[in-house]
Structure 1
Amino acid sequence: MLTVLSLGVVVFPGLFVICNKALNSHFRNWNDAEVVQLSGRVVSTVHAILATISGVIIVTSCAGNVMTDRHRLATDFVWFGAPYMAYDIYVIYVNQYYKEKAKGIAIYNERYFSRIKRLLLKDILIVIHHVALLTIFMPVVLFFRRGLGDFFIGCFFTTELSTPFLNLGKTLIQLGLEDSKLHKINGLMVLLSFFTCRILLFPFMYWVYGCSYNIPILSVPYHIPLHCNIGNICLLAPQVYWFSLLCRKACRLYSRQNKPQRATSKDSLKSS
């Protein structure tokens, strides 16, 4: 337990520092904000890949009995990933700090704790998400579920599948490749993976539970504890909100890219 936790404490901040140094030496014309952003995305992608792989292993290993089958990764990866959540809150603060510094906003005379509060509030949903994982999800998984439901813990780990695509999309924009074919294909993968692993995942878990106990999916909420339903709703709600933002962004991108084509077709009609 302490070994796995210590490994997480070393791996994620250590990888962030290594990425910072490598990017600073390779992209000498980038400012601190750009370096921190890309370094954070690299570490986030590594964490997401490890979480997804762990989730798939757990789900496939515990499919026999979704409530009682066990796999040690269901607890080990929680210990390993907990430092990442704390580290990522720090990166959110540092990222916002360097963004304001790059824009020339005076922040040096501001009180330290006031600055932390203000900068973290700019990504308040993500901060709340990470804090909730540390203070609610982690204790429940490790201490209060009585060794039940490793299958569903694995399902929650697979929600990170969309993260590498999200990070790749932001990186392509940062590199000026937002009009490339790769960015368009990646945008479709973002929507598909996010919808599948962060929204459809919840009815899937209810369906699997119903199949295991011969219960119709619509009756499952009445057969499981109330706090499980409330917890799922609290986890699903921000995912639906974030997915709506992704859809709006995709629509804006599609309309923006089609405008030149429409203008070109109109010009050709006029000339003819």
Structure 2
Amino acid sequence: MMDFPLKPVDHRVLLPVMMILNGVSLATAINLVVSLDPEDKITSKRGSALTLLGFIYFMSLSEILNMTALYTGLGHRYRNKFRLNSGDVLDITNKFVSAVQAAFSCVTGAIVCLWSCTRDFMRTSHYMSEAYAWFGAAYFFYDIWSMYIVHLKMYSKRRPFKNGSTLLSSGDGASVKKPDTSFLAYCKHEPVILMHHLFIGGFGFLVIVYLRGDLGDCTFGFVYLMELSTPFVSARGILSRLKLKSSRLYLINGLLMLATFFVCRVISLPYVCYLYSKVIGSSYIDAVKSLPTGCKISISILLLPQLYWFYLMCSGALKMLLPSSAALSAGDAKRRS
């Protein structure tokens, strides 16, 4: 991701180049798999090419959006209208790319579920589950770096001293130590999302491509569909950056986000366990107990962050929907003091 100012002539040259790279990478990736039979396997050679194309696609899409927002007349007008700084732009871009990836994931999940879940739950597979595991893995590693760059930009808004240090205040006029902006410090600051990305992009990839053996991929189709809530999560962040948190659109998007998050991320995996119990003709509890230990651990690792994020979303929604109660409580506390 570019982190330096471009001259006017640079973006006029680079923007078309990035657009070409973006379109060619996606078209090439589609061409690599479109002629396969549904139950074909993705070879390592083909998969490696898909991962490379995934990096090119997501990175070029990010640069297209950044250059458009930072170096074109249209971007200049919108930045002025919503009073966006460069950190805001990078954050909006990051969330937009996340929404695009989620759309790809949902298409993959829908194809896999329609093919595999309607046939043999335990054995049927569709090549799209492996193909997008290769292509989509690139996104999760790109996104870790992208979020770190956004993190850096937020700190760069501080006013620097001549010696390069940064003026910070604890709120009472006393200076405090400049925050650590290293990548390691960022990882410590955002451990949940980092572990989520590493788990999905690393271990999840290995399970889908190598470790599942001859098992089918219906379950993975539901995992891909978990991304259905992501566009609404991204839209919430974008609307917040645009200072539209008090708008009706923000409220409607928030309700849709909660609904899709609950259905696709909170109850989808328990529902898959229910389908599994029906297939093996066992009770729900016995079916869960019969799962391999590694499978149960993986489900827990995948599900627990979703419960945590859903709790945060519900807390935020209650604060937004019941502001008068919060204000009343604050007023009572002030009078008592």
Matched residue type, 1:211: K
Q: Which residue of structure 2 lines up, in the alignment, with residue 130 of structure 1? A: 197
Matched residue type, 1:177: L
Q: Which protein shows a greater Rg?
A: 2
1:257 and 1:138 map into 2 onto residues whose CA distance is 46
Superposed CA offset, 1:179-213 (max 9, x none): 11111111111111111111101210011111112
Find 2:58's aligned residue among 12, 31, 40: 12
Q: Which residue of structure 2 lines up, in the alignment, with residue 2 of structure 1? A: 48
Q: Secondary structure at the match of 2:59?
A: helix
**Stretches (4+) displaced over 4 A:** 105-110, 257-260
The verdict on how the C-alpha distance between 1:257 and 1:51 changes in structure 2, with shifts beyond 3 A counting, is farther
Partners of 1:55 and 1:156 within 8 A in 2 = yes
TM-score, reference length from structure 1: 0.89
List gaps (5 residues or longer) in structure 2: 1-46, 167-179, 329-337
Q: Which residue of structure 2 lines up, in the alignment, with residue 270 of structure 1? A: none
Question: Cα distance, 1:177 vs. partner?
Answer: 1.5
1:252 and 1:19 map into 2 onto residues whose CA distance is 33
Matched residue type, 1:223: S
Partners of 2:226 and 2:264 within 8 A in 1 = yes
Q: Which residue of structure 2 lines up, in the alignment, with residue 32 of structure 1? A: 86
**1:179 equivalenced with 2:246 (yes/no):** yes
Q: Which residue of structure 1 lines up, in the alignment, with residue 7 of structure 2? A: none
Find 1:76's aligned residue among 131, 137, 149: 131
2:323 and 2:226 map into 1 onto residues whose CA distance is 30
Question: Cα distance, 1:259 vs. partner?
Answer: 7.4
The verdict on how the C-alpha distance between 1:119 and 1:224 changes in structure 2, with shifts beyond 3 A counting, is closer
Q: Which residue of structure 1 lines up, in the alignment, with residue 154 of structure 2? A: 99
List gaps (5 residues or longer) in structure 1: 263-272
Q: Which residue of structure 2 lines up, in the alignment, with residue 268 of structure 1? A: none
Partners of 1:92 and 1:123 within 8 A in 2 = no
Partners of 1:65 and 1:212 within 8 A in 2 = no
Matched residue type, 2:53: L
Q: Which residue of structure 2 lines up, in the alignment, with residue 118 of structure 1? A: 185
2:313 and 2:145 map into 1 onto residues whose CA distance is 25
Matched residue type, 1:34: D
TM-score, reference length from structure 2: 0.72
**1:48 equivalenced with 2:94 (yes/no):** no
Q: Which residue of structure 2 lines up, in the alignment, with residue 193 of structure 1? A: 260
Q: Matched residue pairs, number? A: 259
Superposed CA offset, 1:92-119 (max 9, x none): 1101100011134789679xx9711112
Find 1:250's aligned residue among 317, 322, 326: 317
Matched residue type, 2:64: I
1:225 and 1:154 map into 2 onto residues whose CA distance is 20
Q: Which has the larger share of helix?
A: 1
Partners of 2:66 and 2:89 within 8 A in 1 = yes
Alignment RMSD: 2.2
Partners of 1:8 and 1:80 within 8 A in 2 = yes
Partners of 2:236 and 2:250 within 8 A in 1 = yes
2:138 and 2:191 map into 1 onto residues whose CA distance is 19
Higher relative contact order (Cα pairs below 8 Å, separated by 6+ residues): 1
Partners of 2:222 and 2:269 within 8 A in 1 = no
2:224 and 2:93 map into 1 onto residues whose CA distance is 22
